[in-house]
Structure 1
Amino acid sequence: MRKHDYIILGAGASGLMLAYRMAQDTYFDDKSILIIDKAKAKGNDRTWCCWEEGKGEWDDLLTKTWPNVFFGSKTYSEQIDISPYHYKMIRSEDFYKSLWEIILKKPNITFINNTVDSFTELKDGVQVITKKGSYVGSKLFNSWHNPSVYESQKKYPVLQQHFVGWFVKTKEETFDDSMATFMDFTVPQNGNTRFMYVLPMDKNTALFEYTLFSKDLLEQPEYEDAIKDYLEERGIGDYEVIEKEKGSIPMTAFKFSELNSKHILNIGTAGGWTKASTGYTFSNTIKKTKALIGFLKQESDLSKFHRKSKFHFYDAIFLDVLANHNNEGAALFSSMFKKADVKTIFKFLDEESSLLEDSKIILSVPPKRFIQAFLKRLF
């Protein structure tokens, strides 16, 4: 049986971006790389957004950018100029297609359309069992996340960022496409943290996404009824739903890094690359895949890739508060956006803030719940 140098399980954002970076780096030209996924062409199964200063690596693939965002709630609402940042949107179909064009030109990279049953660490590598046979590799990068590993533990709460989105098209020019609605908490909270997220692609087309940070999912009609009500309240009646999307992203401070080993590294959501307190994954994946390429040139033990960070503790505290007082999310975010500069918030969420900037964020949120959660987590 042929042994591959690297096996990548999953051709989503993290797996494909890692393969792309390997394809772009001559260091990996003599390495055998195998990608396994049950589907190669995934279409527009994801919409990713991030805030970024200046020109970014993926700007050529962007669907839309916004220089302004809107934050709304019953206690604080504001249109915010986020310069020098722009809020950027990329659809997955363009992203996948662009990366595959580079990856498939490399003769040392192979894609196999297959379904993975399991994988096992060996003394000097790893074995992957699929529906069509088994494969052996020196190193495995796994993006298939298994919810049972964090749902079965009690140390860290598990919330979901769950949503349903409608791409809406109107006959008349309706939308201000210079501004994205980052969070609009004016929707009924019903005991949870609920908001509307709106991304206008042009004056006639926008994505309306009804989003919750909570433990339990809703029935499909509940999400869609909330979108209908939101549109109706804004006088938007003559529209066509041209596309829909839905998703659920785990939000937990569970230490995914403890699942890694010498020969196996979990990546993407499976590796804890999703920002626990927000559900954002794309920016982190950009950073992590770049760092991983440099790491692989120096190290052979994949368990050493993870680096401890103060932000894990911040996320754990935040999620403790959100899990135990889910109805207070709107007040928490409103206080933060009212008292802290949005640029500081972005740096904090990007895990690039200084201790002084951290303190500004900490002081911007209602203190009682966080002090309680801090003391409980600390002791």
Structure 2
Amino acid sequence: MVYDYLIVGAGAAGLSLAYHISREPRLAGKTVLLLEPEVKDQNDRTWSFWTDKPTLFDEIAIRTWRKAAFRAPGFEQVFDLGRYRYLTIRGLDFYQFVKQKLAGNVQFTRLKISVESLENEASDVVARAEGGREFRARYAFDSRPPQFAPRPDRHRYLLQHFVGWEVETDQDVFDPEVVEFMDFRGPQHHEPRFIYVLPFTARRALVEYTLFSATRLPKADYENAIRDYLAGTRGVGNYRITAEETGDIPMSDHPLPARAGPRILNLGTRAGRAKPSTGYAFARIQAHSARLVAALAATGQPPADATGDQWQFRLFDTLLLDIMQRRGETVRDIFRELFERNPVERIFQFLNEETSWADNLRVMNSVTPGPFMRSIAQVLRGRPGQRQG
């Protein structure tokens, strides 16, 4: 059998595309094979994002906020998000939601199997899987982790890494209406380091210590930073840790192609959907899925420009990564200037890559130009900046 579409991987990207396909009436007759290496039955991650539109997943968001705080030495403010909302979705809720929506839909076939290779052929794609099994489809969508040989002489390679504790306290501590988006008041140690807090109630919150750097820290360093924040900044004496979250998100300007030939489209991090300068991915995955499905429904083919990414935003990401690599401690001041000198809606729109050229200039003119000019020079030389001393 030759399927119409083959989706490799059933994480955020693969399941999102499957769900978008299931909602498109013009694709109701298409057959879809979803190959997943493992069953997603654990809450292995949490996704947060901001949006100014209704989403397909509003009903499973565990919390929605309309206010966010930014804090750094010399500037602190709680912002009303205006037309934006900030949402959080648990991974397990997402997996179960999509699986339930796909259950009983005869156009979908799901198999638990690992794909070893995908190859373009003249009229279709062949997927070779474990046990010597083969599957064919007109188009394949690959959400496996990207594989590439790093080129540190050409590109920048950092991680956004974090440890988070979900804590419960004995007294009211948190403002459940305000996300602590970035709290840069702690030591930077030559790297961008901040506390991030999602308050679910006045006594329960996810508290994360997040860094941007090339390597992870010993786990005790993250935990000590969270303890210092809870005791020193929040004045919390007694609390219980009810859950823990750890992770590292690759942040790089290494090119990640949207296609791997005429009939293979990449998804998720394999297609560069984790924004290189922030690590946010969920909303970008949804936009990518919607773009692919719209073209498939209208023309029968994926779009020629699969992602719609604009070169100027890729340049902005590269410049910020270069600054992080050269002088990471200055990133705190860059974000302070962004939040101090711009409406928060403009910042979120800029980070969503939806701003006009005029607003892009306003954003760039709001920050001290020196660090960016030095990174522009490195880009023109074709060499990433390196820390000196």
Q: Structure 1: which amino acid aligns with 2:100?
A: E
Deviation digits for residues 114-162 of structure 1, max 9, x if unmatched? 122232232332222222322222211111122x416346422011111
Secondary structure of the 1:324 match is helix
Deviation digits for residues 274-331 of structure 1, max 9, x if unmatched? 1111111111112111111012232536664243512112212222222222222111
Deviation digits for residues 208-267 of structure 1, max 9, x if unmatched? 011111111112222122111211212212111111111111112222126532111111
Runs of 4+ in 1 over 6 A off after TM superposition: none
TM-score, L = length of structure 2: 0.92
1:333: which partner in 2? 335
Partners of 1:236 and 1:137 lie apart in 2 by 56
Partners of 2:237 and 2:2 lie apart in 1 by 59
1:246: which partner in 2? 246
Kept in 2, the 8 Å contact 1:160–1:215? The answer is: yes
1:42: which partner in 2? 41
Matches within 5 A, 1:251-270: 251-257=251-257, 260-270=260-270
Secondary structure of the 2:148 match is helix
1:23: which partner in 2? 22
Q: Structure 1: which amino acid aligns with 2:306?
A: F
1:321: which partner in 2? 323
2:214: which partner in 1? 215
Secondary structure of the 2:277 match is coil
Partners of 1:160 and 1:60 lie apart in 2 by 31
Secondary structure of the 1:137 match is strand
Whether 1:165 aligns to 2:164 is yes
Offset of residue 176 of structure 1:
0.8
Q: Structure 2: which amino acid aligns with 1:216?
A: T
2:384: which partner in 1? none
Whether 1:86 aligns to 2:85 is yes
Secondary structure of the 2:201 match is coil
Relative to structure 1, is the Cα distance of residues 138 and 316 closer, same or farther in structure 2, using a 3 angstrom cutoff? same
Whether 1:372 aligns to 2:387 is no
Partners of 1:254 and 1:64 lie apart in 2 by 34
Matches within 5 A, 1:243-322: 243-257=243-257, 260-297=260-297, 298=299, 300=301, 304-309=305-310, 310-322=312-324
Partners of 1:229 and 1:365 lie apart in 2 by 30
2:154: which partner in 1? 155
Q: Structure 1: which amino acid aligns with 2:254?
A: F
Deviation digits for residues 89-110 of structure 1, max 9, x if unmatched? 1112222211111112211211
Secondary structure of the 1:45 match is coil
Q: Structure 1: which amino acid aligns with 2:230?
A: L
Q: Structure 2: which amino acid aligns with 1:290?
A: A
Whether 1:32 aligns to 2:31 is yes
Relative to structure 1, is the Cα distance of residues 299 and 327 closer, same or farther in structure 2, using a 3 angstrom cutoff? farther
Relative to structure 1, is the Cα distance of residues 131 and 305 closer, same or farther in structure 2, using a 3 angstrom cutoff? same
User: What CA RMSD, in Å, does the superposition of the two structures yield over aligned residues?
Assistant: 1.8
Relative to structure 1, is the Cα distance of residues 364 and 63 closer, same or farther in structure 2, using a 3 angstrom cutoff? same
2:349: which partner in 1? 347
TM-score, L = length of structure 1: 0.94
Return 219-228 or 340-349, whichever deviates more: 219-228
Secondary structure of the 1:216 match is coil
Kept in 1, the 8 Å contact 2:67–2:179? The answer is: yes
Secondary structure of the 2:257 match is helix
Whether 1:176 aligns to 2:178 is no
Q: Structure 2: which amino acid aligns with 1:9?
A: V
Partners of 1:192 and 1:150 lie apart in 2 by 25
Unaligned runs of at least 5 residues, structure 1: none
Partners of 1:368 and 1:144 lie apart in 2 by 39
Unaligned runs of at least 5 residues, structure 2: 382-389
Relative to structure 1, is the Cα distance of residues 57 and 150 closer, same or farther in structure 2, using a 3 angstrom cutoff? farther
Q: Structure 1: which amino acid aligns with 2:325?
A: A
Kept in 1, the 8 Å contact 2:291–2:307? The answer is: no
Deviation digits for residues 162-189 of structure 1, max 9, x if unmatched? 1111111112222110101000111221
Q: Structure 1: which amino acid aligns with 2:281?
A: T
Offset of residue 39 of structure 1:
2.1
Offset of residue 358 of structure 1:
0.6
Relative to structure 1, is the Cα distance of residues 283 and 62 closer, same or farther in structure 2, using a 3 angstrom cutoff? same
Relative to structure 1, is the Cα distance of residues 6 and 259 closer, same or farther in structure 2, using a 3 angstrom cutoff? closer
Q: Structure 2: which amino acid aligns with 1:326?
A: G
Secondary structure of the 2:20 match is helix
Q: Structure 2: which amino acid aligns with 1:330?
A: R
Partners of 2:151 and 2:103 lie apart in 1 by 39
Offset of residue 42 of structure 1:
3.4
Partners of 2:154 and 2:344 lie apart in 1 by 31
Q: Structure 1: which amino acid aligns with 2:198?
A: L
Return 262-271 or 213-222, whichever deviates more: 213-222
Deviation digits for residues 310-359 of structure 1, max 9, x if unmatched? 21122122222222222221111111111111111011011111111111
Partners of 1:303 and 1:262 lie apart in 2 by 10
Return 37-46 or 278-287, whichever deviates more: 37-46
